[in-house]
């Protein structure tokens, strides 16, 4: 049996809102494997949630960071440098698009909403990776979270689908640049899951049910399954895999048509 031991390894997890967050599903696996984890959170209103989910855990640090604020990124990585010295794993689980841009027609996307969605949901992977680069040990692994709306039209995803397409392309460019330094960059494409971010997607409940009916496995994937894929991609078990988009969606994306 292969056991994953992250004792002595350091991880940064960005984007945990509560115990339903995909970032938390991955962090739980890392903590169980013995990693030291620093969690960055968007603002003070999320600190209480984070304190709650990490209560009783050893090896945990919490630090605020809005990914659109350069000073926040500088402070976060200065803290990682002083408290941890280096990084082995980075989990980017951050996305946002203004609700108005997901309610109306895609053609009506405003430039401001486009910039917001792109800045938070795609560009932040680039800027975070740039800040992390000097701290990354050889053999380190970076993952981000994406969704199938990057590849095919999914109603109401609108500008978020475009941002996820940019995010996935960014994964490939970052993987190519960091590959020679033995740092890997991959994305997990998760099926629909009930989280805070999902609640902001108009019609999410109907879509969640339809996805389960269409998926090869006739169900939706779970947060725990995202966590297990995260563990694999962040560990040496996936040492030859980089620049990939790995689906954990109970086989939704392989279906051309639902079979009753």
Active site residues: 147, 157
Binding test (CB under 6 A) with ligand NAD, winner from 140, 195, 238, 242: 195
- Nearest distance from residue 200's CB to ligand NAD, in Å? 8
Q: Which residue, 147 or 232, has its beta carbon nearer to ligand NAD? A: 147
Region of residue 56 (left: phi > 0; alpha: psi -120 to 50; beta: else): left
Q: Kindly identify the residues of this chain, within the stretch 94-133, that bind ligand NAD according to CB under 6 A.
A: 94-96, 120
Segment contacting ligand NAD by CB under 6 A, of 31-39, 104-112, 133-141, 145-153: 145-153
Q: Kindly identify the residues of this chain, within the stretch 214-253, that bind ligand NAD according to CB under 6 A.
A: none
Of 11, 180, 1, 168, residue with least CA distance to 95: 168
Binding test (CB under 6 A) with ligand NAD, winner from 4, 198, 212, 241: 198
Binding test (CB under 6 A) with ligand NAD, winner from 11, 12, 13, 22: 22
Of 191, 245, 188, 186, residue with least CA distance to 218: 191
Torsions phi, psi for 130 (to 5 deg): -65, -45
- Count the residues of the shown chain that bind ligand NAD, applying the rule CB under 6 A: 26
- Nearest distance from residue 187's CB to ligand NAD, in Å? 9
Query: In angstroms, rounded to a whole number, what is the distance separating the alpha carbons of residues 147 and 140?
Result: 24
Region of residue 229 (left: phi > 0; alpha: psi -120 to 50; beta: else): alpha
Q: Kindly identify the residues of this chain, within the stretch 78-97, that bind ligand NAD according to CB under 6 A.
A: 93-96
Torsions phi, psi for 49 (to 5 deg): -60, -45
- How many CA atoms, within 13 angstroms, populate the side-chain half-sphere of residue 119? 12
- Any contact of residue 197 with ligand NAD (CB under 6 A)? yes
- What the block records as the tokens of 66 is 């809005």
Q: What one-character DSSP code corresponds to residue 249?
A: S
- Any contact of residue 161 with ligand NAD (CB under 6 A)? no
Binding test (CB under 6 A) with ligand NAD, winner from 26, 91, 142, 190: 190
Locate tokens 């115990």: which residue? 19
Q: What is the CA radius of gyration of the chain?
A: 18
Q: Which residue, 109 or 223, has its beta carbon nearer to ligand NAD? A: 223
Q: Which residues bind ligand NAD (CB under 6 A)?
A: 15-17, 21-23, 42, 46, 66-68, 93-96, 120, 145-147, 190, 192-193, 195-198
């Amino acid at each position: 049996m292969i056991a994953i031991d992250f004792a002595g390894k350091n991880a940064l997890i960005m984007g945990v809102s509560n115990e339903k967050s995909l970032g938390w599903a991955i962090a739980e696996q890392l903590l169980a494997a013995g990693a030291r984890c620093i969690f960055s959170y968007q603002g003070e209103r999320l600190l209480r949630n984070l304190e709650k989910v990490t209560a009783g855990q050893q090896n945990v640090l919490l630090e605020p960071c809005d990914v659109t604020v350069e000073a926040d990124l500088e402070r976060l990585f200065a803290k990682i440098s002083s408290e941890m010295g280096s990084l082995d794993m980075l989990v980017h689980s951050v996305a946002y698009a203004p609700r108005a841009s997901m309610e109306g027609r895609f053609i009506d996307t405003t430039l401001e909403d486009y910039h917001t969605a792109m800045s938070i949901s795609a560009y932040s992977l680039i800027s975070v990776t740039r800040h992390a680069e000097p701290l990354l040990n050889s053999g380190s692994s970076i993952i981000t979270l994406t969704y199938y709306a990057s590849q095919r039209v999914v109603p109401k995803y609108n500008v978020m689908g475009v941002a996820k397409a940019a995010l996935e392309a960014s994964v490939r460019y970052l993987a190519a640049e960091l590959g020679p330094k033995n740092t890997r960059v991959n994305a997990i494409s998760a099926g629909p899951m009930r989280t805070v971010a999902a609640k902001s997607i108009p019609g999410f409940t109907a879509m969640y049910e339809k996805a389960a009916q269409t998926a090869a496995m006739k169900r939706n994937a779970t947060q725990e399954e995202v966590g297990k894929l995260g563990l694999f991609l962040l560990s040496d078990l996936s040492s030859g895999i980089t620049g990939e988009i790995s689906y954990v969606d109970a086989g939704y994306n392989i279906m051309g048509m639902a079979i009753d």
